[in-house]
Amino acid sequence: MTAARLRPMRWWDIEPVMELELRLFPEDAWSRGMYWSELADTGPGGTRHYTVAVDGDGAVVGYAGLMAVGAEGDVQTIAVAEDQQGAGLGARLLADLVAEAARRQCAELLLEVRMDNPRAQRLYERFGFEPVGIRRGYYQPANVDALVMRLDNPKEPADG
Ligand SMILES: CC(C)(COP(=O)(O)OP(=O)(O)OC[C@H]1O[C@@H](n2cnc3c(N)ncnc32)[C@H](O)[C@@H]1OP(=O)(O)O)[C@@H](O)C(=O)NCCC(=O)NCCS
């Protein structure tokens, strides 16, 4: 298997990202319009940073997005295609967001994760995120609670 490569997400990635989005977030998928609006704020001076992972054939196999406003960063989304999970790609995408938050001098990086998603929570814990609260019924219409997690003082991860 050729290692996936990370690159900035562009508007033409929205369709393949939506295919993954609908499969990976069946209960709370974002719409195309949300991705268009997120990408519209990724230019110079923008508050968003979006990355895709592409395989050797150029197919999108993962994606992740960051919002950075002032000293606060938020992980907007992160996802890896089912057949690519468990090989470290989620960690590479998250490392990319943490590094960008550090470059933007965010004092903290926050995220919401479904309470019923222990796998994603473990990934965040490995990066030093700590649980700081619960948002009841955050995910609708499924009415699932969100765990809020925070990483203080994000730093550019050292290579290796
Ligand atoms: C959460 C998600 C992004 C993680 O992506 P991933 O690519 O599977 O993440 P990683 O491979 O970096 O880590 C996941 C597991 O694989 C293991 N792993 C990492 N590299 C590995 C390797 N080379 N070989 C074997 N296992 C490996 C990790 O130890 C980890 O194990 P754990 O879950 O038991 O702790 C992915 O599962 C996903 O897209 N889920 C659906 C969408 C979702 O829930 N997104 C999060 C919303 S908040």
Cβ–Cβ < 8 Å for 50, 37: no
Domain boundaries, the chain: 5-152
CATH architecture of 5-152: 3-Layer(aba) Sandwich (3.40)
Q: How far apart are CA 57 and CA 54, in angstroms?
A: 8
What tens digit of pLDDT does each residue of 134-150 get? 999 999 888 999 999 99
Name the residue at shortest CA distance from atom 22 of ligand 1: 87
CB of 56 shorter than 6 A to ligand 1: no
Q: What are 17-63's pLDDT values in tens digits?
A: 999 999 999 988 999 999 999 999 999 999 999 999 999 999 999 99
Burial class of residue 115 in the structure, from the number of CB atoms within 10 Å of its CB (0-12 exposed, 13-18 middle, 19+ buried): middle
Residue 124 is among the residues annotated as catalytic for this protein: yes
Active site residue 100: no
